[in-house]
Chains A and B, each alone.
Chain A
Amino acid sequence: MTGTLHVVFKVGGSEYALPAADVLQMESFTSATPVPGSRPWVAGVMQVRGRIVPVVDARVRFGLPPLERTLDSRVVVAMHAERAVALLVDAAREVLKLDPSQIKPPPEIVAREAMGLVKGVAQVGPRIVMLLDFAKVIGEE
């Protein structure tokens, strides 16, 4: 089966994905240093291979109530252009190969309700995986 590898993670019970090629690393979440004055969905900064990178709390970003962080909490550090940003998610443990034919544009209602953060929906067997528009997630227009 052809296709590209995607990192799949969970936020608020739903599954999301980013192309594995854009993901720098994935690790357990220990802590982020809060940055006073930054946007509410920025959990703070952390060090990733010597870089100071912002941590975006995916739950807050998606408008979900905050959740006590657990042992399952992960940060997915992804690249967009020259920026490296960490996404704090509820859990992440899978890499899936997604064929372009599996990925459909999101239904209009999803696109609107998700503030444009979802750019595709993939059906993987019984599961629905949403492809994130990472640039939008990290605040780029």
Chain B
Amino acid sequence: MDLSEFVAGFLAEADDLLALANSSLLLAETASKDVKQNPRAVREAFRALHTIKGLSAMVGVEPVVALAHRMEAVLRLADQGVMRLTPESVDLLLQGVRAIEQRVQALREGKTVAEAPVALLGQLKAIEAGLLAPRATAPAQLDLSPLLLARLLPMDREQLLQGIAAGRNALRADFTPSPEKAAAGITITSVREQLKAHAEIVKVLPLSVADTAEAPGGLSFVLFLLTDGTPATLSTLMIASGLTLTPLAAAPLPPARPDELAGEARARLSAQQVELAELEEESAGTRPGLVRVEVARLDDTMEKLSAFIVTRYRLMRAVTDLAATGVDVRTLKQIMAENAKQLRDLRAAVLHVRMVRMGEVLERVPLLVRGLRRNTGKQVRLVLDVGNAEVDKAVADRIFPAIVHLVRNAVDHAIESPQERRALGKPEEGELRIVCRQRGGNQLELCITDDGRGVDRELVARRAGREVPESDAALLDLLCLPGLSTRDQATTTSGRGMGMDIVRRVAADELGGELLLQTKLGAGTTFTLRVPLTITIIDAFSFECGDQRYVVPVSMVEEIVELDPARLAHTPGARFGASLVERSGEAIPVLQLAQIFGLSEKTPATRAMVIRRGGEATGIAVHRMLGQQEVVVRPMQDALVRVVGVTGATDLGDGRPTLVLDLAALAGAALAKEAA
């Protein structure tokens, strides 16, 4: 990005900010004429000028920086309640905005930007200096604990007091978030949204409180509200959120105390702390230092990177061609090698961004267990031993429902009721343990262990109408029969959702991992999920050739063209049914995939996928295109099936492998073999 791009960006933003500064100052002016302060307007104007200062410093427009700096200083004092804006001072600020507007305009027109007007700067500085003198103190004080008072900004206090003076209700609402509330969709954000419809929210303060059962996060919020309605209507509204409302009164201020000014200084000093608290509040829903990103954006990044990799291959080919003409390409090759390494690193970095901690994936499990405890009346202690393992977001999204199913099953079916456990001589409280480990280079092992009744082989066999299985593996096969339920009646918690067959399908068929079972009657059960840490997901076209389905990555197909038999020009020799077809004014060769595969296809192919083979566009004709979908690609590692043109296999949902083809390699190999 060069400077001119910066300037364009600055110009675009400056207009909006200046408009905001203007409107806010006009609001502040109205208030100042009534010897009042409009704290919101002051805050807005301050923020606008602060941002203008920062942006203009970035593009190096010093006169604007100087003006914005002085104006910001005045507004900061007003914002902190150290001074109250007078109509005269607002007028000077509005002059300042106009002066900035003129300079921004000059910059836009490419003219010389005039220096900041010295007189105006001096006057602004004078307000700043003059108003550092003690101000008239507020006539009343809020009836609050000193601790809370100190956390409120002077402008917030003033706004509340003004509200009370105007006959409105000032209220304090206390909200304590908890996982249960969050699960029910009640968070500080939702509370805010609901309150906003009925009250003016003056301030939201996060408070750190003792970590108790009532406040599991050790965090609580105090919201200061102004409302025109009665507190009663609000409180009925907020019962569902577990919000407590307390009216706030204005107490007469004790006679001026000598430490009044020191108090103001303290208030100013604590501005930084307040900012921190606000940050905390904002991040309460997320986490400090974390960015939440939609997976689609990550996929997009990966796709862009793939395009980059394709370009690189073309570059490599071009270099090879160049070398063939006798040009010395040694330096180019060195750069290419370096470039290849950087690309690999970049790819690894992007993949790393997609990884999520298993700790986060399992975050909602305690909540789930808590709910199950309540529904079943069973006593269960959840032990999570998660470690630092990280998995790709796509893997996490696929295994979480399976984990939920296994946890549900364990609490619902495996762990006995407290009475039953007591009778069996077991502790009344059952234990459910989830252990997560990284295994080998690219595998996650997740064990879900309960100390419940174990799986009854005979019962399962009877239900399945099969012989009693000898091994745990065979037992698992029975459990994974579609639709098998070990209960006469589905219970409320486990009755719905996926069955064991789906759990295994996700773990094994979809992700290429495995599901294992170890169980001992009366002692407990362990389900082990082994899944890869990362998987390759591609956007693919599926099609039919012969009686088989195949997929090919969308990224490898330039275009899909209709084949009109009447307009195909058959070439002499016609290996692989080769013909020529017109595509945007160019004749390109088309090969029949069926013939490359050595199949005799009677009906003519209707479509061809245009791919690029060594720079040359080639059509690969197929019998029938089926569609486009995202597929998980699994490697085909065994030497017996490692063949050119087949990069892996996927499962299109029928439980059998569908081959992922590299059409370019396939066509190339076939042509080369035929020629030899």
Query: What is the interface of chain A, defined by CB distance below 8 A to chain B?
Result: 25, 30-31, 33-39, 42, 44-47, 49-54, 56, 83-85, 138-139
A38 CA to B669 CA, complexed, in Å = 13
Interface residues of B, Cβ cutoff 8 Å to A: 473, 507-509, 511-515, 548, 596-598, 634-641, 643-646, 648-649, 651, 655-659, 669
Which residues of B sit under 8 angstroms from A50, Cβ to Cβ? Answer: 507-509, 511-514
CA A42 to CA B659, docked complex, whole Å: 15
Q: Which residues of B contact A84 (CB under 8 A)?
A: 638
Q: Are A45 and B649 in contact (CB under 8 A)?
A: yes
Task: Knowing A50-B508, A51-B512, A54-B638, say if A35 contacts B646 (CB, 8 Å).
Answer: yes
When distances are taken between beta carbons in the complex, the residues of chain A under 8 Å from B655 are: 47
Name 8 interchain pairs, CB-CB below 8 A, sorted by A: A35-B636, A36-B646, A37-B643, A42-B640, A47-B655, A52-B512, A52-B635, A56-B640
Q: Told that A47-B656, A52-B636 touch, could you supply 13 new A-B pairs with CB distance under 8 A?
A: A33-B548, A33-B658, A36-B643, A37-B643, A45-B659, A46-B656, A47-B651, A50-B507, A50-B514, A51-B512, A52-B637, A52-B649, A139-B640
Minimum distance in angstroms from B515 CB to a CB of chain A: 8
Minimum C-beta distance from A88 to chain B (A): 13
A45–B473 alpha-carbon span in the complex (Å): 22
CB pair A35–B643 under 8 Å, yes or no, is: yes
B639 and A45 within 8 A (CB)? no
In this complex, which of B509, B635, B657, B658 has the most chain A Cβ atoms within 10 angstroms of its Cβ? B657
Closest residue of chain A to B545, judged by CB?
A36
Smallest Cβ distance from B564 to chain A, in angstroms? 27
Q: Are A33 and B509 in contact (CB under 8 A)?
A: no
Closest approach, in angstroms, between the C-beta of B631 and any C-beta of chain A? Answer: 13
Q: Are A54 and B641 in contact (CB under 8 A)?
A: yes
- A34 contacts which chain B residues (CB < 8 A)? 548
Nearest-CB distance from B662 to chain A (Å)?
12
Of B515, B548, B657, which one neighbours A52 at CB under 8 angstroms? B657
Q: Which residue of A lies closest to B506 (CB)?
A: A50
| Chain B contacts for A83, CB-based, 8 A | 638
In the bound assembly, the distance between CA atoms of A54 and B636 in angstroms comes to 9
Q: How far is the CA of A37 from the CA of B636 in the complex (A)?
A: 14
Q: With A47-B508, A52-B634, A139-B640 known to touch, is A37 a contact of B645 (CB < 8 Å)? A: yes
Q: Which residues of chain B come closer than 8 Å to A35, judged between CB atoms?
A: 636, 641, 643, 646, 659
A36 touches B657 (CB 8 A): no
Pick from B513, B639, B645, B658: contact of A36, CB under 8 Å:
B645
* Consensus secondary structure, chain B interface: mixed
Give the CA-CA distance A33 to B646 in the complex, in Å. 12
Distance between Cα atoms of A125 and B656 in the complex (Å): 41
**A37–B640 CB distance below 8 A:** no
Given contacts A33-B657, A52-B657, A85 and B646 within 8 Å (CB-CB): no
A residues in contact with B548, CB < 8 Å:
33-34
Contacts of B640 in A (CB 8 A): 38-39, 42, 54, 56, 85, 138-139
Cα of A36 to Cα of B597 in the assembled complex, Å: 6
Would you give the shortest CB distance from B207 to chain A, in whole angstroms? 50
| Contact between chains at B656 and A38 (CB < 8 Å) | no
- A74 to B: closest C-beta gap in Å: 15
Q: How far is the CB of B409 from chain A (nearest CB, A)?
A: 20
Interchain CA distance A39-B473 in the complex, whole Å:
32
User: Which A residues lie within 8 Å of B513 (CB)?
Assistant: 50
Enumerate chain A residues within 8 angstroms of B514, measured Cβ to Cβ: 49-51
Q: Which residues of B contact A36 (CB under 8 A)?
A: 596-598, 643, 645-646
* Beta-carbon nearest neighbor of A84 in chain B: B638
Closest beta carbon of chain B to A65's beta carbon, Å: 20
Contact partners of B643 in chain A: CB under 8 A: 35-38
How near does chain A come to B672, taking the closest CB pair, in angstroms? 12
Question: Which residues on A sit within 8 Å (CB–CB) of B649?
Answer: 33, 45, 52
* Measured CA separation A68–B508 after assembly (Å): 30
Q: Give Cα distance in the complex from A45 to B658, angstroms.
A: 9
Residues of B within 8 A of A25 (CB): 473
Kindly state the separation between the CA atoms of A84 and B640 in the bound complex, as whole angstroms: 11
Closest-CB distance, A32 to chain B (whole angstroms): 8
Chain B residues within an 8 Å CB radius of A53 = 638
* Chain A: minimal CB distance from B338 (Å): 35
A45 → chain B, closest Cβ, in Å? Answer: 5
A31, A33, A56, A84, most chain B CB atoms within 10 A: A33
Indicate if the CB atoms of B641 and A45 lie closer than 8 Å: yes
| Assembled-state Cα–Cα distance A98/B627 (Å) | 53
- The docked-state distance in angstroms from the alpha carbon of A75 to that of B533 is 30
Q: Do A45 and B636 contact each other (CB < 8 Å), given the known contacts A25-B473, A31-B656, A50-B514?
A: yes
What is the minimal beta-carbon distance from B591 to any residue of chain A, in angstroms?
14
Taken together as a complex, chains A and B put the C-alpha atoms of A52 and B644 apart, in Å, by 17
Q: How far is the CB of A61 from chain B (nearest CB, A)?
A: 11
A135 CB, nearest partner CB in chain B, Å: 12
Minimum C-beta distance from B543 to chain A (A): 14
Q: A39-B640, A45-B641, A56-B640 are in contact. Are A33 and B659 (CB under 8 A)?
A: yes
Are A139 and B507 closer than 8 Å at their CB atoms?
Answer: no
Give every chain B residue within 8 A of A47 (Cβ-Cβ).
Answer: 508-509, 651, 655-657
Report the nearest A residue to B649, measured CB to CB.
A52
> What is the chain A residue whose CB lies nearest that of B650?
A52
Which residue of B638, B644, B657 is within 8 Å of A37 (Cβ)? B644
For B512, the chain A residues whose CB sits under 8 A away are 50-52
The answer to whether A33 and B644 touch (CB under 8 A), given A50-B512, A50-B514, A53-B638, is no
Chain A residues within 8 Å of B658, by CB: 33
Cα A81 to Cα B35 in complex, Å, equals: 88
B508 CB contacts on chain A under 8 angstroms: 47, 49-50
Q: Which residues of A contact B638 (CB under 8 A)?
A: 52-54, 83-85
Chain A residues positioned under 8 Å from B598 (CB to CB)? 36
Distance in angstroms between the alpha carbons of A50 and B535 in the assembled complex? 13
- Least CB separation from B477: chain A residue: A25
Distance A51 CA – B507 CA, assembled complex (angstroms): 11
Nearest 10 CB-CB pairings of A with B: A50-B508, A37-B643, A54-B640, A36-B597, A33-B657, A54-B641, A52-B649, A50-B512, A35-B641, A49-B514
Q: Cβ of B641 and Cβ of A38 under 8 Å apart? A: yes
Give the distance in Å from the alpha carbon of A127 to the alpha carbon of B509 in the complex. 40
Cα A35 to Cα B512 with chains together (Å):
19
Provide the residues of chain A in CB contact with B635, threshold 8 Å: 52
Tell me how far the C-beta of A48 lies from the nearest C-beta in chain B, rounded to whole angstroms.
9
CB distance from B467 to the nearest CB of A (A): 13
